[in-house]
Amino acid sequence: MSAAMKNDNIVVRSLAQIGDCALFLLRMLAAVPRSMRHWRETVRQLWFVGAMSLIIIMVCGLFVGMVLGLQLYDVLSIFGGTSATGTVVAIAIYRELGPVVTALLFAGRAGTSVTAEIGLMRATDQIAAMEMMAVDPIAYVAVPRFLAGVIAMPLLACVFCALGIFGGHLVGVSWLGIDNGTFWSNMTATVEVVKDVINGVIWKSVVFGIVVSLIAVFQGYTTPPTSEGVAYATTRTVVASSIAILALDFVLTAFLM
Partner 1 sequence: MTDSVSAKPDDSALVRVRGLTTVLNGKKVFDALDIDIPRGKITAIMGPSGTGKTTLLKHITGQMRGDAGEVWVDGHNVPKLSREKLFELRERIGYLFQNSALLTDYDVFENVAFPLRQHTDLPEVLIRNIVLTKLQAVGLRGAAGLMPTELSGGMARRVALARAIVFDPMLILYDEPFVGLDPIALNQVLKLIRTLNETLGITSVLVAHELEAIKQVADHIYLIANGKVVAQGDPKTIADDGSPWTRQFFGGDADGPVPFQYPAGDLGQALGFPGSGA
Where on the chain is the footprint of partner 1 (CB under 8 A)? Answer: 120-121, 124-126, 128-136, 140
What is the helix (H) or strand (E) element at residue 83, kind and residue range? none
Distance of closest approach, residue 234 Cβ to partner 1, in angstroms? 17
In eight-state DSSP terms, residue 226 is S
| Number of alpha carbons in the 13 Å side-chain half-sphere of residue 200 | 20
Nearer to partner 1, 126 or 185 (CB): 126
Distance of closest approach, residue 26 Cβ to partner 1, in angstroms? 15
CA distances from 30 to 34, 35, 139, 220 (A): 8, 10, 9, 19
Nearer to partner 1, 129 or 251 (CB): 129
In whole angstroms, what is the distance from residue 35 CA to residue 33 CA? 5
Nearer to partner 1, 11 or 40 (CB): 40
Distance of closest approach, residue 124 Cβ to partner 1, in angstroms? 6
Distance of closest approach, residue 213 Cβ to partner 1, in angstroms? 19
Nearer to partner 1, 140 or 218 (CB): 140
CA distances from 185 to 18, 166, 188, 227 (A): 46, 15, 5, 55
- Cα torsion angle, 93, 95, 99, 101, sign: negative
Closest CA to 97 of 152, 184, 154, 157: 157
Residue pair 108/49 in contact (Cβ under 8 Å)? The answer is: no
In whole angstroms, what is the distance from residue 93 CA to residue 98 CA? 5
Nearer to partner 1, 37 or 75 (CB): 37
Distance of closest approach, residue 215 Cβ to partner 1, in angstroms? 22
Nearer to partner 1, 43 or 129 (CB): 129
